Amino acid sequence: MKRRNCKATSEFYDEEDLFEKNELHAKLGDSNVTPVIFKTQRKGFQKAMLRLSDESGRLVLKKVYDGKIYRDGINQNDVTFVDTFNILYVYIGPGASANEALSSWTEAEKYLRSAGRPEKAIAVFSAGSYLPAFNEIWNDHGVQYSQQLVSK
């Protein structure tokens, strides 16, 4: 270190020069590797809407819709779960109790574990928040839009 006046030294190697010395390359060789395509199975999956409510004094998760989901299934006084293929959306309504709002994440995890999909992404948002992807999941998307045009 004293001879270099505390300056670091560096060495440069060309990748091709290292191939013979590389342990991984020695085991794999130069043969081409065929790519493996992982395609998640959508077969048999159905969207679902569930409602988390503590109206009875304890938290209960009830199914509202299965297969097709509609906006009119949202109860503003509860927490609504919308299970799509890629994401579990958790909407906290403006009238949801503090217990419902605080328990929404743990109940979402519990639901995904029971459904056998614990690795699925969870998106939690409350009334007044805007989540563009949430607007694209509905089966009544075109119906509501056309009704708005007719009423104008």
pLDDT, greater one: 82 or 131: 82
CB-based contact 122:88 (threshold 8 Å)? yes
Is residue 19 included in any domain, yes or no?
no
| pLDDT of 4 | 67
Q: Is residue 10 part of a domain?
A: no
In a domain, residue 101? The reply is: yes
What pLDDT does 19 receive? 62
Q: Which two tokens stand for residue 6?
A: 């505390």
**With a threshold of 0.85, does the pTM exceed it?**
no
Within-domain flag for 22 = no
What's the domain count of the chain?
Answer: 1
pLDDT on residue 107: 96
CA distances from 51 to 88, 114, 117, 123, 126 (A): 13, 16, 19, 15, 14
Domain encompassing residue 56: 47-151
* Structure confidence at residue 77 (pLDDT): 94
Structural domain includes residue 12: no
Q: Is residue 110 over pLDDT 90?
A: yes
| pLDDT tens-digit map of 67-78 | 889 999 999 999
Q: Does 126 reside within a domain?
A: yes
**How does DSSP assign 101-141, residue by residue?**
HHHHHHHHHHHHHHTT-TTSEEEEEETT---GGGGGS-TTH
CATH code where residue 89 lies: 3.40.20.10
Task: Let me know if residue 42 belongs to a domain.
Answer: no
pLDDT at 55 over 70: yes
What's the pLDDT band for 151 if we cut at 50, 70, 90? very low
Q: 31 in a domain, yes or no? A: no
Residue 17 CB neighbours (<10 A): 9
